[in-house]
Amino acid sequence: MAKNPPELVDSHCHLDFPDFNGELPQILARAKAAGVTRMVTICTRLRQEPQVRAIAEANDGVFYAAGTHPMSAAEEPLATIEELVALSRHPKFVGIGETGLDYHYTADSAAIQATSLRIHIEAAQTTQLPLIIHSRAADDDMARILSEGMKIRPYSCVMHCFSSGALLAQVALEMGFYLSMSGIATFPKSGELRDIFAAAPLNRILVETDSPYLAPIPHRGRRNEPAYTAFTAKTGAQLCGITEAEFAAATSANFDRLFTRAASTSRAA
């Protein structure tokens, strides 16, 4: 890592997962040393929201979001708009989700996933906090449902860990959404995905780890952590033809524009 690395934001990680048990202070210290001064830790099952909230409350620069992950939609109680709105009143709660559609492993629950997604969209519309979308092997349905929601009432959104096709990227960008780059973009066989990010407007790109998953090169196959945002950001800078410092500044500004509550809390600190 650089001696004075540029400041980055890990816009999506899972600090409550057991992979980090007993190591969180060291994880956060390594992130800071790598220039990752802020992060959003994501709650994927609402019954675990208290634990995720506690992590955000205990650590400066850590914010959180909550929702029902699509792969858990059939196993968990269906979230309500009222429940999500109530959670959103916490000052470090910055987004709705992650929610979405995943047909790769859980296509059999497509109907309940869609119902859950629509509830989360309405919660984002109500709270004016950004929606955090997980989409896998469901591009057509995802584009349709997101577009239907936008016709009812505008909302903001990030396509987390974007690894879908160019058409879904186009639909998302046309609606004013953001694409978040994960370690997948560093993998040798991800040329088509790199092309999508290279063609996207710089002011619509975020960067994330999705840790403990999807560690970027050179850590692929091992546990991911927020510090490794820097490796994905290096690839992003190369794709955009700018310096790592410029990419870090741009993606941090994008994060502040989308996650306005995190931005205002950071300025007040």
Per-residue pLDDT of the chain (269 residues; tens, 9 = 90+): 447 899 999 999 999 999 999 999 999 999 999 999 999 999 999 999 999 999 999 999 999 999 999 999 999 999 999 999 999 999 999 999 999 999 999 999 999 999 999 999 999 999 999 999 999 999 999 999 999 999 999 999 999 999 999 999 999 999 999 999 999 999 999 999 999 999 999 999 999 999 999 999 999 999 999 999 999 999 999 999 999 999 999 999 999 999 999 998 866 65
Give me the pLDDT at residue 267, please: 63
- Edge-to-edge, what's the strand order for the sheet holding 8-13? 8-13, 36-43, 62-66, 93-102, 131-136, 157-159, 178-181, 205-207
Instruction: Quote the pLDDT of residue 4.
Output: 87
Q: What pLDDT is stored for residue 1 in this prediction?
A: 46
pLDDT score for 268: 61
Stated length of the chain: 269
Can you identify the CATH homologous superfamily of domain 8-268?
Metal-dependent hydrolases (3.20.20.140)
Sign of CA dihedral 263, 264, 267, 269: negative
Q: Where are the domains of the chain?
A: 8-268
Looking at the chain, the number of H-run helices and the number of E-run strands are: 11, 8
What pLDDT, on a 0 to 100 scale, did the predictor assign at position 46?
A: 97
Residue 216 is predicted with a pLDDT of 98
Are 178 and 157 contacting, i.e. CB atoms less than 8 angstroms apart? yes
- Dmax (CA) of the chain: 50
Is the whole model's pTM more than 0.85, yes or no? yes
